[in-house]
Amino acid sequence: MTLRFSTTLAAISLLAVSSLAAGQQAAPAPEDFAKAMAEANQVPDTPGDGPYPAVMELDPALPNHVIYRPADLKPFAGGKLGVFAWGNGGCADDGASQRQQLAEIASYGYLVIAPGKWRSGPNAKVGQEPPRTPPPGERLPPPATSAVDVKAGLDFALSATKYAKLIDKKAVALGGFSCGGLQALSLAADPRISTLVVQNSGIFNSPTESIGGMKLSKDTLKTIHTPVMYLLGGPKDIAYVNGSDDVKRIDQVPLAFVNLPYGHGGTYSKPMGGSAASIVVDWLEWRLRHNTGAARSFVGANCRLCVNPETTIERKNF
């Protein structure tokens, strides 16, 4: 399978504008990022390592989205299936671009929905995104997907579909990576969600910055009404300054601020989504299903993330 280069360019563009906004080091060179993306694109699809092996699928009832779910839905009869609506890195039109993490989450009993076509991985169904050009006065093209597309996945999961009798409507989450994290933040006020996950992202500190015309004010943070986790890549993450500023401003809900030393690229392309995916699963299992074992990653003086030399964690309003 060849590299979906337009998806790569979307991610590179986002990195570049984020670097400028944050005043940090320059984004990785396009050839380096392209090489990493090409390698990630060869990683096989996996069912995750949770108790419910997951599948990826397309559903004609929800065009232009990729669905991740447990292959066997019988254990979720009566309303036990969680929901995780996702925004892609680069706001790309590739619902498979973070497939390792999303399949991992699905394998713990979640219906995970990402906007875009299935463009990545050895089982990709279509080719690369068509090229996009910036509108007048903008440095970047408009995002290929929007918060409306992320919301469409949420609407689908909670409507009268084949999943209607399986969904636990008290176990609904939103999340996203980089530009997709901004999409998730823009939907934070939705009363149907019970938690929010922001990965390698944060609202631009300068109100003059935007991604292809997509502007989001820091006032958006006031609409967050659920527990929220920010999962960033440490000071080398070009979203670190913006995300850290978000964390300082949010004081109305429980918040975990976790850092992994992998920069902006996180562990998305690692098998099963790497350590970041494990952290997200524990957050969802704690906040949505009140799993005390999962909570131990975040609570207590010797919480797992507190004593893990790879991670740092700050907590507010716990």
pLDDT band at 62 (very low <50, low <70, confident <90, very high): very high
* Stated length of the chain: 318
What's residue 41's pLDDT? 79
Answer whether 4's CB lies under 8 Å from 94's CB: yes
The rounded distance, in Å, linking the Cα atoms of 107 and 109 is: 5
What's residue 83's pLDDT? 98
- Of 64-73, 90-99, 128-137, the range with the lowest mean pLDDT is 128-137
Tokens standing for 128? Answer: 């690369």
* The amino acid at 247: V
Name the residue among 316, 290, 313, 267 with its Cα closest to residue 104.
267
What's the pLDDT tens digit per position in 32-57?
Answer: 556 666 777 788 999 999 999 999 99
- Of 40-49, 205-214, 272-281, the range with the lowest mean pLDDT is 205-214
Answer whether 69's CB lies under 8 Å from 57's CB: yes
**The pLDDT of residue 179 is above 90:** yes
Segment 134-160 mean pLDDT: 88
What's residue 5's pLDDT? 35
What's residue 67's pLDDT? 98
What's residue 129's pLDDT? 82
Segment 196-222 mean pLDDT: 90
- Of 98-112, 158-172, 207-221, 237-251, the range with the lowest mean pLDDT is 207-221
CB-based contacts of 39-43 (< 8 A; 24+ apart in sequence): 39/269, 40/120, 40/268, 40/269, 41/1, 41/2, 41/3, 41/4, 41/120, 41/121, 42/1, 42/122, 43/100, 43/121, 43/269, 43/271
**The pLDDT of residue 137 is above 50:** yes
Q: Distance of alpha carbon 37 from its chain centroid, rounded?
A: 17
pLDDT band at 269 (very low <50, low <70, confident <90, very high): confident
Starting at the edge strand found earlier in the chain, the sheet holding 65-70 runs: 54-57, 65-70, 110-115, 81-87, 167-177, 195-199, 228-232, 255-259, 312-316
The share of the chain scoring above pLDDT 90, in percent, equals 76
Name the pTM for this structure: 0.90
Segment 184-197 mean pLDDT: 98
Segment 96-105 mean pLDDT: 97
Task: Give the Cα-Cα-Cα angle 64, 69, 72 (nearest 5 degrees).
Answer: 135
What's residue 15's pLDDT? 44
The rounded distance, in Å, linking the Cα atoms of 177 and 265 is: 9
**The pLDDT of residue 273 is above 70:** yes
pLDDT band at 13 (very low <50, low <70, confident <90, very high): very low
What's residue 39's pLDDT? 73
**The pLDDT of residue 263 is above 50:** yes
Average pLDDT, the chain: 89
Q: What is the CATH number of domain 5-316?
A: 3.40.50.1820
For residues 216, 218, 220, 223, the Cα torsion angle rounded to the nearest 10 degrees is 170
What's the pLDDT tens digit per position in 15-35?
Answer: 444 443 333 444 444 455 566
Segment 221-233 mean pLDDT: 98
**The pLDDT of residue 68 is above 50:** yes
